């Protein structure tokens, strides 16, 4: 049996528009990661980027289950001694709600050059407007 390698120029990529209103963060992010990596396509291979472009709107309306909204903490470090910084979910939502979805999806992608290329196809916007009308994204319901 021969291994089929798809030419990257022949990959058919689509643009999808997804509404994050009242969606649960983890389940929503795993579906986005599947779309971005192209795992739902028949010609998927783990060492190539087969994924589609995804535009997420209404990131301000994403939610968590249980008491995670009170206990979830985002960590970052300045690489200096005592440079640890913590931010709660509510603080992060108030500052930049798009980073919450990007971080959740990034956690589900490979941590290499391919993953860095895949995450650039995710476009997240806090409100219902986006500048990608020229690409004519298909509305996709993930509920």
Residue 75: the pLDDT is 95
For 5-27, how does the pLDDT look when each residue is reduced to its tens digit (9 = 90+)? 888 888 899 999 999 999 999 99
Residue 3: the pLDDT is 74
Residue 10: the pLDDT is 87
Residue 78 lies in a domain: yes
Which regions of the chain are under pLDDT 50?
Answer: none
By CB neighbour count within 10 A (0-12 exposed, 13-18 middle, 19+ buried), where does 104 fall?
middle
Structurally, the chain folds into a number of domains equal to 1
Q: Are 123 and 132 in contact (CB under 8 A)?
A: yes
Residue 116 lies in a domain: yes
Residue 6: the pLDDT is 85
Residue 31 lies in a domain: yes
Residue 3 lies in a domain: no
Residue 60: the pLDDT is 96
SS3 assignment, position 55: strand
Domain that holds residue 96: 8-140
Residue 19: the pLDDT is 97
């Amino acid at each position: 049996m021969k291994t089929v390698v798809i030419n990257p120029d022949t990959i058919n990529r689509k643009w999808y528009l997804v509404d994050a209103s009242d969606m649960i963060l983890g389940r929503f992010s795993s579906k986005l990661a599947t779309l971005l990596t192209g795992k739902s396509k028949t010609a998927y291979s783990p060492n190539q980027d087969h994924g589609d472009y995804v535009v997420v709107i209404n990131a301000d309306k994403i939610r968590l289950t249980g008491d995670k909204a009170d206990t979830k903490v985002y960590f970052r470090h300045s690489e200096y001694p005592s440079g640890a910084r913590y931010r709660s979910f509510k603080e992060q939502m108030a500052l930049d709600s798009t980073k919450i979805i990007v971080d959740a999806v990034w956690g589900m992608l490979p941590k290499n050059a391919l993953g860095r290329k895949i995450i650039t196809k995710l476009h997240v916007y806090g409100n219902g407007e986006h500048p990608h009308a020229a690409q004519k994204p298909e509305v996709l319901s993930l509920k």
